[in-house]
Amino acid sequence: MSATTRLRPTDADKGYSVSGRILGPLELAGPLGTLQPNAGKHRVLLAGLMLRADTIVPVTDLITWLWDDLPPATAKETLYVYLMRLRKELAKGVGGGIRIHTAGGGYRLSLNRDAVDVLVFQRLVEEALVAERRDDPKAAIDLLREAEELWRGPALADVPSDALRRDEAARLTEEWGRAVERRIDLELDMGHPGVLIGELRTLTARYPSRERFWAQLMIALYRDNRQVEALECYRQARELLMDEFGLEPGDELRRLHQQILDQAVPPALEPPRAPTAWVSQCQLPPDTPDFVGRDEEIDRIEEALTAGAELAAAPIVVISGPPGVGKSALAARVAHRMRHAFPDGQWYARFPETKAGEGVEDTTLTDLLQLSGVDPHSVPGGQLARSAALRARLTDRRVLLILDQAKNLDQVLALLPNSPGCAVIVTSTRLLVGLPGAVQVSLEPLPSAQAEELLEELVGRRVREEPDAARDIASLCGRLPLALRIAGARLATRPDIRLADFAQRLGDTRRRLDELHTGSMELRASIELSYVALSDGARSAFRMLGLLDGSDFPEWVLAALLGREDVDHLVEEFVVASLIAPVGRDRTGEPRYRMHDLLFVYAAELAAEEPEEVRRVALRRLLDTLMQVAVTAWHRHPRILWGRAPVGPPPAGSLALSDERLNRLVSEPLAWDESVRQLVVPLIERACEYGWHGDAGYLSGLICIGTDADLERICHAVKTAARASEDELVWWQAEFALTRRLIHQPSEEAVDRLTRCLEAFRRFNAPSAVRHTLVWLSICFAVRGHVFQARQFAAQALAVIDDLGKDAAWTLPMPDLVSALATERHRPEFLPRFQRAWEEAERFGDLTYQWIALNGLSSAARNVGDLEWALWAAERGLALADTIGEMQASAWMRVQLARVRLDQGHLDEAEAEAERAQKIFARDLSWPGISAAAELLIRISSEKRSHAVQ
């Protein structure tokens, strides 16, 4: 390789003040000096960023190059440190405005691509090929020599990264070799064999296994009338290949040897050919006749594709989304609609369904070149040459390319035209970041109405005859077009199958993906392509996500399942592969992600194939983490949820979360409750299946369960497991929790069940549980108007308190509170009792009993005509109920607020609050609340009619 050190002379004319050199010792020169990092990791990082200058380099690539596929657990944090130090070195030692920017899941070096020797080399080689195609071999030779002069030594010679040299150095060396070979071919064709002999002898000595150099040396000697030396050259090559590698020379050398023996002048190795005539072709896949929806996306794509006249490069649209969402169908639909705008051809290339898509660009390039009319024998060798040839063929043409199912960025970059008259549509399940100027179109499942419309297009009137079943099928198909088409095809060929029966079969998650398979269409295979393309660690993590029963989860849940904090790189890999999608942050500030329902079904199938012990350990880690965080949250904000409180000390368990993340999660304990409700119910059920019912019951006392239905699910699971294990105490704790929802019902069932719970807790000597039960018995009697019994049980609750610390604070206002609740509230003397109960609860920081007291205070004030006082108490109680996240409490306070507003004559405000309360009661199936809200709405409606008549 040449030792010349200059970059292309025109670089200075363009005003580039920074020059990056990779082809030899690594250095970056700028106005402030030349940076040659001493630290090996810094050289790896700088080289990787320079190789893709002004392009986003994913974090995963940088980590791979830094640690040669064996990253430490703290890889990402260490990478941050290296980047920080390298940024400082760049600022002090280089200047020129160069920066490392964070963007799109990676980092970008703001270095002009024409200021990096390797990228200039590649551009010069492409320009040489264009010159050659235009029958200007002299210009091509000059460009290739200029490209060779950029090499000062082996690429990445001083960069200590086996992975980077494996991925990049070998490829660059091959590109150099092909460029030298091509330049020598051109010089031989121009009739100057003698001047090349010395250079070729050096090349064959330095690269003895490269047979093309030997062939070129034989040609040069023969054409220089040195036939004997040419034959001796063949003998040396054969002897070396046999001694070193045990191989005979290849076909080219053997054929050339025979031609020399026969004194037949061999032809030029690759003589210049006349330009091939252009052939316009349409190779688009068929349009979908029953295509439904995507109007906004179609408009956006068409607008982007017609912007070429205003751009300096071909417009690119990337359509991404999860498997089966209809990316290819949308691309074909748009391409057919826009055929008139691209008269020189509409091309379609689908990448093979390989794991990572490596090694397919050359085949695709060859296919596209031949599609344009290039003779198969005229297709140049090597990806770089073919890519340049394709760009040359597309210059000044108007061609639309669809690149379907791209696996990575490199595949697409090799096929991009350089003419603004062309346009490109790329489809991929992966988020292809780094395509300059590309318009990103991310597809979601179809809206419900369009999903049902598509099903009707496929199945016909049966959808109208069974609308509910059709709606269920669309939902169970996840509103994915591919799944809907499979379901529609199966139903269309079986008119004897009722839609309801097919919906029932799809409802079984164990067989849903089996049902979504017909002929060549299979949803599972489509999903599997994205799964197998993941790294080993990501595939393992994806299987663990299948243990969850909900498709929406915060990031820390994955950390808990895996028992490690550093999972953000795995999450990033899932997002890039369109296997999960970010859905924002919850109230704790934790990022949340959603997995499509059918992707979750697939993950659950994979999880079921894991060894039982692997699943058990992962779920145990998640349960332990939840309990530890919930305990921390409860101690920061003690409260009684659903009439329960934690009994006994928290169980010991490992915590996979950092202190920083733990503190963030529990900074607002009620926000924490809200963020895990969806997760807790199925996890408690799974814990009970594994025999962890004690821990499950403990956890249920720490988190505010959202609805009566969820509470019943949890308690049923705990009671079933406790009975099977003969754990009576846990069984009675679950029974006590269930009884809370009966407090406001008119029957005596709540009193009977609470009484039995009290007897059991006394038998098991569980004073904390006894205290809670006595309190709820007192409230139960109070709301039924039984003053004596209510005060009696409240007094007993106080009697069992061992200390007057904060844990017992909520029982202190009970005597006054239950007396006021149980008495006719229109009597003025009971207003102070409610007020004192509220003040006591407020003094000890218990929000639950504050809103109970405020509810009673508002009711009593209203009944004696003090509406201002009643409004204040109702609004304050509603705010407290919302704060503790107790939706039933919120609904009852809204009922009270509506009553006050009705008395004040504010009918619209009263109606709005009553309707909000009714929605909450209806969602939770709280029949006493539904009845109270309905009765209130009738009264409001009657008042409105009376006002209208007046």
Q: Does residue 613 lie in a domain region?
A: no
Structure confidence by residue, pLDDT tens digits, 432-484: 877 777 888 988 888 888 888 888 888 888 888 888 888 888 888 888 888 88
Query: In the predicted model, is pLDDT for residue 15 greater than 50?
Result: no
Tell me what pLDDT residue 927 has.
Answer: 66
Tell me what pLDDT residue 487 has.
Answer: 86
Query: In the predicted model, is pLDDT for residue 644 greater than 50?
Result: no
Is residue 10 very low, low, confident or very high in pLDDT (cuts 50, 70, 90)? very low
Give the CATH number for residue 946: 1.25.40.10
Is residue 269 very low, low, confident or very high in pLDDT (cuts 50, 70, 90)? very low
CB-based contact 204:407 (threshold 8 Å): no
Helix residue ranges per DSSP H, 583-668: 597-608, 612-636, 659-666
Determine the Cα–Cα distance for residues 756 and 147; give it in Å rounded to an integer: 91
CB under 8 A, 24+ apart: contacts of 836-842? 837/813, 838/813, 839/813, 840/812, 840/813, 840/816, 841/809, 841/810, 841/812, 841/813
Structure confidence by residue, pLDDT tens digits, 747-768: 678 888 999 999 998 898 887 7
Tell me what pLDDT residue 756 has.
Answer: 92
867 phi and psi angles, rounded to 5 deg = -70, -30
Q: Does residue 549 lie in a domain region?
A: no
- Is the same domain home to 97 and 146? yes
- Is the same domain home to 72 and 1? yes
CA gyration radius, the chain:
38
Give the CATH number for residue 393: 3.40.50.300
Tell me what pLDDT residue 522 has.
Answer: 74
- Is the same domain home to 463 and 380? no
- Is the same domain home to 892 and 905? yes
Query: In the predicted model, is pLDDT for residue 137 greater than 60?
Result: yes
Is residue 843 very low, low, confident or very high in pLDDT (cuts 50, 70, 90)? low
- Is the same domain home to 339 and 397? yes
Tell me what pLDDT residue 805 has.
Answer: 44
Structure confidence by residue, pLDDT tens digits, 30-47: 777 788 888 888 888 888
**Residue 249 one-letter amino acid:** P
Of 212 and 277, the structure prediction assigns the larger pLDDT to 212
Question: What integer is the mean pLDDT of 306-312?
Answer: 66
Distances (CA, A) of 475 to 446, 483, 597, 832: 10, 10, 9, 55
Q: Which of 186-190, 275-279, 391-395, 595-599 has the lowest mean pLDDT?
A: 275-279
Average pLDDT, the chain: 79
**Residue 950 one-letter amino acid:** Q
- Is the same domain home to 476 and 328? no
Query: In the predicted model, is pLDDT for residue 831 greater than 50?
Result: yes
Tell me what pLDDT residue 425 has.
Answer: 92
| Secondary structure (3-state) at 304 | helix
Of the candidates 416, 442, 468, which is a domain's last residue?
Answer: 442
Structure confidence by residue, pLDDT tens digits, 557-587: 888 888 888 888 888 888 888 888 888 887 7
- Is the same domain home to 369 and 430? yes
The 3-state secondary structure of 250-272 reads CHHHHHHHHHHHCCCCCCCCCCC
- Please measure the distance between the N-terminal and C-terminal CA atoms of the chain and give it in whole angstroms: 102
Is residue 847 very low, low, confident or very high in pLDDT (cuts 50, 70, 90)? low
Q: Does residue 733 lie in a domain region?
A: no
Determine the Cα–Cα distance for residues 785 and 608; give it in Å rounded to an integer: 54
Q: Which of 95-99, 278-282, 287-291, 638-642 has the lowest mean pLDDT?
A: 638-642
Burial of residue 103 (CB within 10 Å: 0-12, 13-18, 19+) is: exposed
Q: Does residue 566 lie in a domain region?
A: no
635 phi and psi angles, rounded to 5 deg = -70, -25
Question: What integer is the mean pLDDT of 624-653?
Answer: 62
CB-based contact 23:158 (threshold 8 Å): no
Question: What integer is the mean pLDDT of 543-551?
Answer: 82
Length of the chain equals 950
Q: What percent of the chain has pLDDT over 70?
A: 83
Range of the domain at 354: 295-442
Most confident of 92-101, 347-356, 841-850: 92-101
Question: What integer is the mean pLDDT of 369-373?
Answer: 79
Of the candidates 491, 507, 525, which is a domain's last residue?
Answer: 525
- In the chain, helix, strand, coil percent, each to 5? 60, 5, 30
DSSP string, 155-182: BTTT---HHHIIIIIHHHHHHHHHHHHH
Tell me what pLDDT residue 426 has.
Answer: 92
Q: Which of 111-125, 373-387, 612-626, 645-659 has the lowest mean pLDDT?
A: 645-659
Tell me what pLDDT residue 381 has.
Answer: 67
- Is the same domain home to 375 and 501? no
In the block, which residue shows the tokens 């109007």?
295
Structure confidence by residue, pLDDT tens digits, 923-936: 766 666 787 888 88
Q: Does residue 696 lie in a domain region?
A: no
Q: Which residues have a Cβ under 8 Å from the Cβ of 945 and sit 6 or more positions away?
A: none
Q: What percent of the chain has pLDDT over 90?
A: 2
Q: Does residue 934 lie in a domain region?
A: yes
Q: Could you tell me if residue 438 is left (phi over 0), alpha (psi between -120 and 50 degrees) or otherwise beta? A: beta
Closest to 127 in 3D by CA, of 417, 389, 419: 389
Structure confidence by residue, pLDDT tens digits, 597-611: 888 888 888 888 888
- Element (H or E) spanning 109, and its range? strand 106-109
Q: Does residue 329 lie in a domain region?
A: yes
Give the CATH number for residue 94: 1.10.10.10
**What dihedral do alpha carbons 799, 802, 806, 809 form, nearest 10°?**
0
- Is the same domain home to 458 and 438? no
Is residue 844 very low, low, confident or very high in pLDDT (cuts 50, 70, 90)? low
- Element (H or E) spanning 292, and its range? none
Query: In the predicted model, is pLDDT for residue 13 greater than 60?
Result: no
Q: Does residue 19 lie in a domain region?
A: yes
Tell me what pLDDT residue 801 has.
Answer: 55
Tell me what pLDDT residue 39 has.
Answer: 86
- Is the same domain home to 458 and 512? yes
Of 82 and 638, the structure prediction assigns the larger pLDDT to 82
Query: In the predicted model, is pLDDT for residue 645 greater than 70?
Result: no
Of 647 and 4, the structure prediction assigns the larger pLDDT to 647
In the block, which residue shows the tokens 């029966």?
501
Query: In the predicted model, is pLDDT for residue 857 greater than 70?
Result: yes
The 3-state secondary structure of 223-244 reads HCCCHHHHHHHHHHHHHHHHHH
Residue 31's CB is within 10 A of a number of other CB atoms, namely 11
The angle subtended at Cα 550 by Cα 544 and Cα 551, nearest 5°, is: 80
- Is the same domain home to 420 and 452? no
Structure confidence by residue, pLDDT tens digits, 682-720: 888 888 888 888 888 777 777 666 566 777 888 888 888
In the structure encoding, which two tokens stand for residue 652, read together?
Answer: 């010991």
Tell me what pLDDT residue 647 has.
Answer: 44
Q: Which of 387-396, 411-420, 742-751 has the lowest mean pLDDT?
A: 742-751
Distances (CA, A) of 765 to 643, 761, 849: 19, 6, 26
When divided into structural domains, the chain yields a total of 6
- Is the same domain home to 164 and 313? no
Tell me what pLDDT residue 104 has.
Answer: 63
